[in-house]
Structure formats: C-alpha cells, structure tokens
Amino acid sequence: MAIEQEQKPASNARADFYHRIDKHDLAPLWEVLGALVVPTPRTPCVPAIWHYDEIRDYVLESGSLITAKEAIRRVLVMENPALRGQSCITNTLYAGLQLILPGEVAPSHRHTQSALRFVIEGQGAYTAVDGERTIMSPGDFVITPQWAWHDHGNDSTEPMVWLDGLDIPLIRFLDASFAEELETDEQAISRPSGDSPARYGQGMLPVDHERGGVVSPIFNYPYARTREALETMRRTDEWDPCHGLKMKYVNPVTGDYAMPTMSTFMQLMPKGFEGADYRSTDGMIYVCVEGRGRTVIGDKSYSWGPRDTFVVPSWYKHRHIVEDGDAVLFSFSDRTVQQKLGLWREERLVS
C-alpha cells in the first residue's frame, strides 16, 4: 500500500519553492509583476525647489575649499530629496551648480555623457568645445556633445555660475560610461569664436556639409536671440493654455532636438497667466530666468523667482501661475529619448 505524501499548505509550498529556486538565482515573476508593470508611472522622485538666494553662498564658499583644477568640476549636485546619494535630480538626469572663479580653468576632458550648461550668474567666462570657444552670458544654453573635448575658463573679474545638466544616470543605467582627460588643462583652439553659429546658425550650411549627427553643430544658443524669438512669437497671440508660449531648441541641420538624450525648452508666460493642469511622462527640470510666480505640483505650491531651479517629476499634475512681470522659464527633460522609443505621453487637463 502506497504511503500518501503529506500535502503542504499552498503558502508553505510556494515558500519552499521560492527558497529552492533562489539558490539558482531565479525568482517568481508573479510575486513582483504588479510593481514592474504598472498602469501609470510610479516615479520615486518628488517635487523639489532650490532657491538660488538660499544656496548661492554655499556655491561661492566651495571656491575657498577646493580649486577648479583639483575638483576637475567644482559642482554642488542638486539631489532629488527622494534619491539622496544617487547624484540625480530625476531617475535619468543629473543637475548641479558649477562655479568658476576669475583666473581659473576647469581642465579639459571628455566623456560619453552629454552635457548642457545654462548660465545663471556672471559674464565673460568661456567654454571650449572641440577647438572653439564661446563666451557665456546669463540665460545662454550651451551644449557639450558626448565625447567632445571641453574645458571652461574665467577671464572676467567676477565669479561665474551655471547649471550643469547631464544624462549621467541614463548612461550609468546603460553601462556605457567612458571618460578621458587631456594632458593639458586647455585644449588647442583651432577655430575663431563664433565659427559654429556662422556656419550653421544663419539658415545656411556649408555646401559640402553632410546631413547627419545627433548633436546640434551650434553649441551656444545665446539668450538674447532666444528672448527676441519669444517676443516675435508673442505678436501672434497664440498662447497655449498650459505652457504660454513654449519653444524647443533644435538642431538646425536635422530639425530634431539639439541633444540626443535631453530635450531643452524656453517658454514665456505673460503677467497674470494661470496655466491649465498638465502632466507628461518626462520629469522636467525648470530654471526661472525672468519674472516671479509659482507652480502647483500635485497638492503643493512652489514659489519661484529668477535663478531658482525646481523639478516636476514624471506624471505629476502641475500648473504655472505668473504673479510678477512676464515669466521666462528654461527647462530640460529626457523627452527626446522617450519619444524615440514611442513611450512619451502627455495629458492636458483643460476644462
């Protein structure tokens, strides 16, 4: 007579099964599927704001503690409060404030991470990219393409501060980081300042230029020209109920975004503007250039003014309200990556 095997309760049988397969580096999908494939985005990021007037002294103090050469890049990283220790402001993007003091040079290097600079304070420092220098002014958007030699210097008499935005977390996730340092602090300059906008920024291209490249050949988009474009567009009176007047920076050769992994924008909202609720899957980092207002993110309001930085995480409902003067906001996100993968979504909650 066969001896019947004792039946274990389902929960105990499963636990025993999980224990046995764990030794073979296996795990049951059904236990975690609900957290992996979710009906709507569940970002670990939270809304946050950095008021420049509150942190400026810390940025300047860092200049007395370490030199630009010793630090390689003297930056205070803006860490999302929910992601402390991970050096990121959203899941895919990094942001920080870099300081260059008069007479300093941040040594030349290159890396596979793409970088943007948005000038916050100061006038007259430069960025050199692949043999060409550009002088930077507040509100300028400057590109450092992936794997391009670049260094920074300050020949002015005042400190220079800009926001660094990089795709460091994204490249880290892809395990695709490479970096090199140049033997000299400054690269050789082979083209005059202004060469790139002359070649590519006048609605013309060199006759033998071949279409291609994932990064804009223009690496400085001056704020004066951007502001002029916004004012010209204002005359059409075509205000978006969520964004006011919002334009994207593009590669003039391809018409695509200026950078392959980060989309960049500038928007104008008139005094008294009250935006409609909006959300999208790209977590957005904003910098106020002009004006004062507040952004309601979820159920909390964040007041901002010139040089403040704030972040709206993925799929958070938010709306902008302008309170003092015309407001101009610079912003960047990973939208271009999401769009190329067919993932990006937006929702306009306009009544």
Task: Give the chain's domains with CATH numbers.
Answer: 48-205+219-349 (2.60.120.10)
So what's the pLDDT on residue 11?
81
Of the candidates 99, 110, 103, which has an alpha carbon nearest to the alpha carbon of residue 71? 99
Q: Could you tell me if 182 and 162 are in contact, meaning their C-beta atoms sit under 8 angstroms apart?
A: no
The whole-number average pLDDT for the span 247-276 is: 96
Q: Write the pLDDT tens digit of every residue in 21-58.
A: 999 999 999 999 999 999 999 999 999 999 999 999 99
Q: Write the pLDDT tens digit of every residue in 116-126.
A: 999 999 999 99
Name the helix (H) or strand (E) containing 329: strand 318-333
Residue 98: how many CB atoms within 10 A of its CB? 21
Of the candidates 127, 166, 125, which has an alpha carbon nearest to the alpha carbon of residue 149? 127
So what's the pLDDT on residue 202?
84
Q: Could you tell me if 69 and 104 are in contact, meaning their C-beta atoms sit under 8 angstroms apart?
A: yes
The Cα 5–Cα 24 span in angstroms is 26
Under the banding of pLDDT at 50, 70 and 90, the label for residue 8 is low
So what's the pLDDT on residue 10?
62
Question: What average pLDDT is seen over the chain?
Answer: 94
CA distances from 305 to 12, 291, 311, 332 (A): 59, 6, 14, 18
Query: Would you say residue 70 has pLDDT above 70?
Result: yes
Name the helix (H) or strand (E) containing 237: none
So what's the pLDDT on residue 56?
98
CA distances from 154 to 96, 102, 127 (A): 18, 5, 9
So what's the pLDDT on residue 282?
98
So what's the pLDDT on residue 1?
46
Q: What percent of the chain has pLDDT over 70?
A: 96
Q: Could you tell me if 175 and 143 are in contact, meaning their C-beta atoms sit under 8 angstroms apart?
A: no
Name the helix (H) or strand (E) containing 36: helix 33-36
The Cα 152–Cα 182 span in angstroms is 13
Lowest-confidence range among 73-82, 205-214, 302-311? 205-214
The whole-number average pLDDT for the span 324-334 is: 97
Q: Is the pTM of this model over 0.75?
A: yes
Q: What is the dihedral of CA 203, 205, 211, 217, to 10 degrees?
A: -80
So what's the pLDDT on residue 7?
55
Query: Would you say residue 348 has pLDDT above 70?
Result: yes
Query: Would you say residue 4 has pLDDT above 60?
Result: no
